Amino acid sequence: MLGSRWPALEGDAVPAVRLYHRGSALGRAWLREHRIGLNAPLLRRADGWQAARETVAHEVAHLAAWAVYRDRGHGAGWRQVMAALGVPATRTHSLDVSGIPGTQRRWRYRCACSTHRITTTRHNRIRQGRMRYHCRRCGEALARELEGGPGVDT
Ligand SMILES: [Zn+2]
Ligand SMILES: [Zn+2]
């Protein structure tokens, strides 16, 4: 189905898969290596089956978007592939990351154009007035955003 729409996707559908055991991201994609990674301890947690299905689709869609559009992020190409796969184009999850090595609490900040999640180290520097961070896209200084639940980039 995808192959008839995007001939570049004929064949080569099975990427190499690597399991990893650190960090809060559910999955990763290595575009040139045609490889995806899955966070094994995180996908064993509650709702892991659902999350695993969507994570595999999310990462495979990165490989497809790269093959078809040279889209290396969550741009229009990636979103089109997600729609074709019938999976919601989400970039965050709400699984419990506590106790998994390499996870660190992230603090939500805002600029004029988007939301940023920054580490506790940076958050403390800002709070103590020792540092200001600016959005690379719009140039505005980041300011704390108070509402909203936890979110983790995948
Ligand atoms: Zn911005
Ligand atoms: Zn992604």
Question: What CATH number corresponds to the domain at position 48?
Answer: 3.30.2010
What is the distance in A from the centroid of ligand 1 to the CA of 129?
A: 20
The answer to whether residue 29 is domain-embedded is yes
In a domain, 116, yes or no: yes
Q: Give 103-143 pLDDT, tens digit per residue.
A: 767 788 999 999 998 888 888 899 888 889 999 999 999 99
Q: Strand, coil or helix: what is 21?
A: coil
Look up the domain containing 128 and give its range: 106-147
Average pLDDT over residues 81-85: 94
Cα-to-centroid distance, 7 and ligand 2 (Å): 23
**113 and 50 in one domain?**
no
- Where is the domain boundary, 93, 114, 139? 93
Distance 116 CA to ligand 1 centre (A): 9
Q: Specify if 34 maps to a domain.
A: yes
pTM reported for the whole predicted model: 0.66
Considering the domain boundaries, does residue 153 fall inside one?
no
Tokens representing residue 81 in the block = 């592939």
Q: What is the pLDDT of residues 54-66, one digit of tens each?
A: 999 999 999 999 9
Q: Are 129 and 55 members of one domain?
A: no
- Could you count the other beta carbons within 10 Å of the beta carbon of residue 24? 22
Is 115 within a domain?
yes
Q: Is residue 117 part of a domain?
A: yes
Ligand nearest to the CA of 116: 1
Q: Are residues 78 and 110 in the same domain?
A: no
Structural domain includes residue 100: no
Ligand nearest to the CA of 143: 1
Residues involved in catalysis: 59
* Ligand number with the minimum distance to the CA of 87: 2
CB neighbourhood size of 34 (10 A): 15
Q: For the chain, how many structural domains are there in total?
A: 2
Distance, CA of 96 to CA of 127 (rounded, Å): 26
Same domain, 10 and 79: yes
Does residue 42 lie in a domain region? yes
